[in-house]
Structure 1
Amino acid sequence: MSVKISKMKTWGRYGAGRSWLRSALAATPVVFAPMALLILFITLFRFDGSLPDLYFALRDQGVWHVLDAYRPRFDLQTTLAYSCWVAFQVVLFQWLPGPRSIGQRTPAGHVLEYRTNGLRAWVVTHLALGALCWKGGLDPGFVPRNWSGLVFAMNLFGFLASALAFAKAHLMPTHLEDAKFSGCWLYDFYMGIELNPRFGDHFDLKLFTNGRIGMMAWTVIDLSNVAYQYQEFGSVSPSILLVTILHTIYVLDFFNNEEWYLRTIDIAHEHYGFYLAWGCFTFLPVMYTLQTQYLGRHPTSPSGAYLLVAFTTGLVGYALFRSVNDQKARVRRLNGDCLVWGRPARYIRTTYMTSDGWQHESILLASGWWGWSRHANYLGDLLLSFSMCALVGTTNVVMWAYALFMTILLMHRCIRDEVRGRSKYGTAWDDYCKRVPWRLVPGLW
């Protein structure tokens, strides 16, 4: 139910009010994130993933010499191939038939429609690439063989998409009332200004970038590294197969539940800037596939028992992740009239207000996993992330970078979710926190 009232309230990304210096400091990942990714790229492909070897090279040869000598290189053919990949995803996103889904209400009260054809696009993409490989038009190991040029192209497109988002927000914004300007152009470039930038009625830049560029590339990169390992070594190791299976389960879950994804923090709350644009064009494909990148060139053979434990842990993490999210979706879909763990759902009915002056009702679930902790879904994500890294079967620090990144990201999101929840729901959120006192893991945090 929605009621029009006079008092205005909104939530979402922090807007004006912070100092320019604080905003500029918060935007430093515009520089540091590409540098970190460059270090990972060089370490993995020029020093076999060895940080000590990288350190000695930096010490003996000089930082700028090493970075310049081993950085990703522009290659015209590879850049054209990547451009065709992006264009193909644009065509599928815009014209491939698929169900229509409704997103979550924005702070300004907009409810947007999306074409959620991601699962069909994933199938078409992989069938098309498979057919090209079968007919000899594409080398199955193309990705690792051209990784330097591909990383350069990803960076190029990521920065171009970030610039496009920044310019569009100033020149032709979609739903200006949902935009946030901080007063610091660097922070706005980094965190984004528009919440849901679109071209036309349905081409949503945020969903396209997250789903069709980032997530779609994940399994393509993995499978190409599997093919490369077979081509180079004559066999495929259990480690790379199991990692690829876990990655594929996660990616297919994303596309199969694309309608649910419309109500997650990425789509419902994050504004579209460098953080998401470059992050999905470049950071996601490079960071999230570190395990198969390494295994494609360095097959490892941990014991069967070790692989079984690590893989099972990943499946448990995925099952927890899916169970937690399904509980909340079911309770909200049935307006609380359902059972959770065999008992009537316990929840708090609350209201929130959008900046157009309308008050809306919502539910804060406080039973099942959501009575266990306020972010149990993130725990499933973390278990899955650590198992993906563990399957590589090495103590090499670089191979654990993905798990470390996910830990920092999700703990930071816990804190941001708390701030947003209190801003959106007011005292009802405080009551919810009293009922469910633990953020992530009971007894720890």
Structure 2
Amino acid sequence: MAARFRPSAPHTSTASSVAAAQGQWGRACPQPPCCVQALGLGLLWVPRWPVHGWRVQVEWPPVGVQEASTAAAAGTARPRWFSETVPQVLLYVALPDVCHRFLPGYVGGVQEGAVTPAGVINKYEINGLQAWLITHLLWLANARFLSWFPPTIIFDNWIPLLWCANILGYAVSTFAMIKGYLFPTNARDCKFTGNFFYNYMMGIEFNPRIGKWFDFKLFFNGRPGIVAWTLINLSFAAKQQELHGHVTNSMVLVNVLQAIYVLDFFWNEAWYLKTIDICHDHFGWYLGWGDCVWLPYLYTLQVSARATRPAQ
């Protein structure tokens, strides 16, 4: 059944089970000394993995495609700026969902999340499928008719975009940390462990928000990275077409199967509100950086492995 719009203000549950969970749910337990070492290694080494994955796939190619791979790795032959985050913010907060009005079985519009440890039930605007459709229709219209930018733009600027994604990931994680200390959305849902690095990595606030609708956790989990996933695949397929004059069956298969996964996520976005990501995880570097960098750069290694290589 299609969702109906309801008032946006969160309300508080008085259930006794919620009260009993106070102080126990979340990451409020003391951390052992070895945790600091593990956190340091994670913050230092994990950001290197996307770069290493790219170098393995593109900078060290099979014999015969070295020249194309070197140009791709440089990513600066025709420097361009391509930003998806700002448009996704606008599609998230400024365009209420209409897909649920005409797609049978799809649940969109304003939906309630799970009860938080403090007893709050937040409301969310479920419009991810709409945002994905608009983004990709504009992308395809540009590739076919408008020619505002080449469809290979993501591939051509992959490393500069990696720098931008890292800056965004660390910026949003740091802002979430400061916000949790100074002006949390709901102080009763904050968890402090006494370990600064653990708080930074795993998060303090349960549901950091700006205003009534911009929810950090839902937006970064379910907008820029996962919407970009299929755009990245299309851009790498376009690069393969440019380099070799055709798109291989394996590239088509990766695009189709991963698009099915992404569309399944957006079709079930209302259900996602009741999963572990929303119901248990606090928002810190683990989600902020992970959604901006880890998801789009590691989950797309299959297409980067194929873009510069002709069919074997």
1:268-307 alignment, distance < 5 Å: 268-301=279-312
Matched, 1:23 2:22: no
- Correspondence for 2:225: 214
- Correspondence for 2:5: none
1:45-444 alignment, distance < 5 Å: 45-48=58-61, 78=80, 80-82=81-83, 85-98=84-97, 99-133=109-143, 134-301=145-312
Deviations 1:325-383 (A, max 9, x none): xxxxxxxxxxxxxxxxxxxxxxxxxxxxxxxxxxxxxxxxxxxxxxxxxxxxxxxxxxx
**Within 2, Cα distance between the matches of 1:4 and 1:102?**
20
Deviations 1:403-424 (A, max 9, x none): xxxxxxxxxxxxxxxxxxxxxx
**Within 2, Cα distance between the matches of 1:6 and 1:283?**
33
- Correspondence for 1:35: 48
**Within 2, Cα distance between the matches of 1:124 and 1:282?**
23
Matched, 1:8 2:7: no
Are the aligned partners of 2:114 and 2:122 in contact in 1 as well (CA < 8 Å)? yes
Are the aligned partners of 1:141 and 1:227 in contact in 2 as well (CA < 8 Å)? yes
Change over 3 Å in CA distance of 1:300–1:71 after alignment to 2: closer
**Within 2, Cα distance between the matches of 1:72 and 1:190?**
31
**Within 1, Cα distance between the matches of 2:183 and 2:62?**
44
Could you state the TM-score of these two structures normalised by the residue count of structure 1?
0.59
Are the aligned partners of 1:162 and 1:273 in contact in 2 as well (CA < 8 Å)? yes
Are the aligned partners of 1:72 and 1:152 in contact in 2 as well (CA < 8 Å)? no
Q: Which amino acid aligns with 1:275?
A: Y
2:124 partner SS: strand
Change over 3 Å in CA distance of 1:93–1:283 after alignment to 2: same
Are the aligned partners of 1:23 and 1:184 in contact in 2 as well (CA < 8 Å)? no
Q: Alpha carbon RMSD of aligned pairs, Å? A: 2.5
Question: Relative to total residues, which structure has the larger helix share, 1 or 2?
Answer: 1
**Within 2, Cα distance between the matches of 1:212 and 1:228?**
24
**Within 2, Cα distance between the matches of 1:227 and 1:205?**
32
Quote how far apart the aligned CAs of 1:97 are: 1.3
**Within 1, Cα distance between the matches of 2:159 and 2:236?**
14
**Within 1, Cα distance between the matches of 2:154 and 2:88?**
17
Change over 3 Å in CA distance of 1:71–1:169 after alignment to 2: farther
Quote how far apart the aligned CAs of 1:73 are: 8.0
Q: Which amino acid aligns with 2:122?
A: L
Matched residues, number: 278
Quote how far apart the aligned CAs of 1:158 are: 0.9
Q: Which amino acid aligns with 1:195?
A: F
Quote how far apart the aligned CAs of 1:48 are: 2.3
1:104 partner SS: strand
Are the aligned partners of 2:173 and 2:200 in contact in 1 as well (CA < 8 Å)? yes
Quote how far apart the aligned CAs of 1:7 are: 6.9
Deviations 1:106-139 (A, max 9, x none): 1121111000000000000111122223311010
Quote how far apart the aligned CAs of 1:38 are: 2.3
Change over 3 Å in CA distance of 1:104–1:299 after alignment to 2: farther
**Within 2, Cα distance between the matches of 1:176 and 1:35?**
34
**Within 1, Cα distance between the matches of 2:133 and 2:166?**
26
2:27 partner SS: coil
Are the aligned partners of 1:75 and 1:149 in contact in 2 as well (CA < 8 Å)? no
Deviations 1:293-341 (A, max 9, x none): 111111445xxxxxxxxxxxxxxxxxxxxxxxxxxxxxxxxxxxxxxxx
Change over 3 Å in CA distance of 1:7–1:153 after alignment to 2: closer
**Within 2, Cα distance between the matches of 1:233 and 1:116?**
40
- Correspondence for 1:354: none
1:148 partner SS: helix
Are the aligned partners of 2:59 and 2:73 in contact in 1 as well (CA < 8 Å)? no
Larger radius of gyration: 1
Deviations 1:194-243 (A, max 9, x none): 11100011100111111111110100000111111111111111101111
Are the aligned partners of 2:191 and 2:205 in contact in 1 as well (CA < 8 Å)? yes
Change over 3 Å in CA distance of 1:49–1:181 after alignment to 2: farther
Identity %: 36
Quote how far apart the aligned CAs of 1:17 are: 2.0
Quote how far apart the aligned CAs of 1:71 are: 9.0
Change over 3 Å in CA distance of 1:126–1:172 after alignment to 2: same
**Within 1, Cα distance between the matches of 2:17 and 2:200?**
34
Change over 3 Å in CA distance of 1:198–1:74 after alignment to 2: farther
**Within 2, Cα distance between the matches of 1:234 and 1:141?**
14
Are the aligned partners of 2:76 and 2:157 in contact in 1 as well (CA < 8 Å)? no
- Correspondence for 2:105: none
Change over 3 Å in CA distance of 1:250–1:138 after alignment to 2: same
**Within 2, Cα distance between the matches of 1:33 and 1:230?**
32
Change over 3 Å in CA distance of 1:153–1:172 after alignment to 2: same
Moved over 6 A (4+): 70-76
